[in-house]
Amino acid sequence: MLPQRIAYLDLDMRKVEVKEVPEEITRRFLGGRGINIYLLYHSVGPETHPLSPQNPLIIGPGMVTGLKGISASRCNISGKSPESGLLGDSNIGGYFGAFMKRTGIDFLFITGSSSKPVYIYLDKERISIEDARDLWGKSTTETDMILSERYGPACQSISIGVAGENLVRFACIINRKKNTAGRTGMGCLMGSKKIKAIVVNGKEPVEPEDEAGFDRLMRGFQQGLKKEPLVKLLGEYGSSLLYILVNRRIGMGRSYNGLSTKFPGGENISPNILKDKYYTGKAGCYSCPVSCHHKYRVGEIESEGPEYSILASFGPVVGIKRLEAVLYINDLINRYGLDSSSTANLIAWTIELLKRGLIDQSVTDGLSLDWGNEEAIIELIHRIAHRKGLGNILADGAREAVRYFGEETGRYLLWSKNLPQTDPADLRYFPAYALGDATASRGPDHLRSRPTWESYRLSEETLRGIYGGDISANPRSYLGKGRVIWWWETYLSLFDALGICKLIAFHCQPGLIDFAFFSELVRCATGIDLTAEEIFAVGERIVNLERMFLVREGIKRKDDFPPQRYFEPLAWQDGLKPEEKDLKLDRAAFEGMLDEYYRLRGWDSEGVPLSGTKERLGLAR
Ligand code: SF4
């Protein structure tokens, strides 16, 4: 599997150059998100405009992506974000990353831009730039089908839809029907270069260096996985299982733009109904033992999903109560290539602004935009993708929309670091979740640190064993939660660097996948020896370099807070339990948690990595 190779593709010069990744860089960053941030940090600066040809589109499957039996399907797509203007980084599953590894190219680093629509083709022998004028204007699903027919079963593609072509700032990138690099507008960056699709064509699977050792490791891993009850349920329900746990069991799902956590009359938004009435078969990412995707049929539509974030965002967050409408929207936004989190949050925010009278109906061009008005919401999605009227305002992303409507409207938007919140959960309930969203390097996001074990009722002794310090077992407590996020951010960055799916991390008990496991996996896969401590340091290095990128862009402590709304009790008190009525984040306690997190990271009180930290991690130069 080594050395890893990077193809530098310059669209202006129509030139390709392939270089090897030095072993020292591989040892320090592994692959995927790790090497992506290394390349990005050293190729752009604060002066680089996200839509300029100099901003690279970096495609990086994880170090072990393509190996069988461990959900190693993932690929990171990075660049300076057209949505936030800060760190752009998004992770996609499906089949593309594994098939890209088969071409012998581990990273694509694309600069410049084309004057005409193109797609990029890769196989073992060639990398070429092809005419895509016949694909421009087509949906992601149509594009995928056309390219599959053109190149046959050994090919996989990623593509943008109409949203990416129209430079909607939160456009995403799709493989097949639903595998999505959703966050931070990487589809917009791809559209700015006029790249409609990237096709990879490879027949021979990737093999580990030490086959016997790898098989042994996989046997143990898969036996352990079978004993995990939540993983079994994940396979049955897909990630919509989280809707049952978060919205139903814990009751912390956001509704109505975070004005409430209750959704009366919304019983139809149900993973059980989804499973019993609409699922038509299973699907999954490359060689995943869980296979949590599901195909569904509703009316004429045959699609896949919906993921938890779409179910919750286009259900309670915007107030839609009809499951069929959510299933329709799931297919629609994937065809357009729109990020579901930003789209739903911006629509919910607009509805609240209308309700508060902060904007008037004249901006809607006749749409009766209201909670749960599915026709108006669907029409607004069309207008966002095609940049029409109000859709055009929202298509410029949160930062520009707040400027347009007035800075005072920003306090009703659930966002920070210029990005709407990904997680459709209310952050008042678990302070650790709030800190993790606030410090996430790409903006408020649960996929950087979601500490699901907060809800597992583990003993304080077990927690001390995992995290190495005193942690309260109470998920409502702030005690030790800075340490929890320090640990989870580090841990999950390794999943992204290796190319393993994090859904497994969220649904397993502690111990099945730990740093020693990663160490053995890297050794079997590549022959590189790294101790568990060195693997942990790789995670720290990735998080620190991302922070250095953000600091260079002007980010500091004031940007590491959740939205103001979470420091106030829920606005709509109907249906709340007595203990939920006054629930809010405590600012002083949050500051304490942030201090603890900074201290463990080796950052100063403003969140800037100290020189000693940079020295220790080899990031000083
Ligand atoms: S658990 Fe689900 S999302 Fe993750 S790799 Fe497997 S099929 Fe894909």
With 90 as the cut, is the pLDDT of residue 28 above it?
Answer: yes
- Confidence (pLDDT) at 1: 84
Cβ of 73 closer than 6 Å to ligand 1, yes or no, is yes
Nearest CA to ligand 1 atom 8: 285
Ligand 1: centre distance to CA 288 (Å): 6
User: Who's near 456: CB < 8 A, 6+ residues apart?
Assistant: 509
Average pLDDT score over residue span 457-486: 97
Average pLDDT score over residue span 560-564: 97
With 90 as the cut, is the pLDDT of residue 45 above it?
Answer: yes
Cβ of 508 closer than 6 Å to ligand 1, yes or no, is no
With 90 as the cut, is the pLDDT of residue 232 above it?
Answer: yes
**What is the pTM for the complete model shown?**
0.97
**Residue 107 exposed, middle or buried by CB count within 10 Å (0-12, 13-18, 19+):** buried
Instruction: Give the integer Cα–Cα distance in Å for 151 and 159.
Output: 15
Longest Cα separation, the chain: 67
Q: What's the pLDDT band for 297 if we cut at 50, 70, 90?
A: very high
- Confidence (pLDDT) at 341: 97
Q: What is the mean pLDDT of the chain?
A: 97
Strand, helix or coil at 171? strand
E-assigned strand segments in 250-349: 279-283, 293-298, 301-304
Q: Give ∠ CA 609-614-620 in degrees, rounded to 5.
A: 120
With 90 as the cut, is the pLDDT of residue 621 above it?
Answer: no
**Each residue's pLDDT tens digit, 210-230:** 999 999 999 999 999 999 999
**Each residue's pLDDT tens digit, 384-410:** 999 999 999 999 999 999 999 999 999
Q: How far is CA 230 from CA 112, 238, 292, 504, in A?
A: 45, 11, 12, 9
Q: Which of the residue ranges 234-243, 336-345, 536-545 would you say has the lowest mean pLDDT? A: 234-243
With 90 as the cut, is the pLDDT of residue 133 above it?
Answer: yes
Token pair for 115 = 């004057």
Instruction: Give the integer Cα–Cα distance in Å for 430 and 12.
Output: 49
How does DSSP assign 66-115, residue by residue? T-TTTT---EEEEEE-TTTSSEEEEEE-SSHHHHHHTTT--EEEEES--S
Ligand 1: centre distance to CA 92 (Å): 10
Nearest CA to ligand 1 atom 5: 71
- Confidence (pLDDT) at 125: 96
**Residue 557 exposed, middle or buried by CB count within 10 Å (0-12, 13-18, 19+):** middle
**Each residue's pLDDT tens digit, 352-374:** 999 999 999 999 989 999 999 99
Query: Which of the listed residues 290, 304, 507 should we mutate to test ligand 1's pocket, taking the one with most ligand atoms within 8 A of CB?
Result: 290
Ligand 1: centre distance to CA 209 (Å): 24
Cβ of 285 closer than 6 Å to ligand 1, yes or no, is yes
Catalogue all structural domains in the chain, each as residue range(s) with its CATH number: 5-201 (3.60.9.10), 237-419 (1.10.569.10), 426-617 (1.10.599.10)
Ligand 1: centre distance to CA 247 (Å): 21
**What is the percent of the chain with per-residue pLDDT over 90, rounded to a whole number?**
97
Residue 303 has, within 13 A of its CA and on its CB side, a CA count of 25
With 90 as the cut, is the pLDDT of residue 8 above it?
Answer: yes
Instruction: Give the integer Cα–Cα distance in Å for 491 and 514.
Output: 8
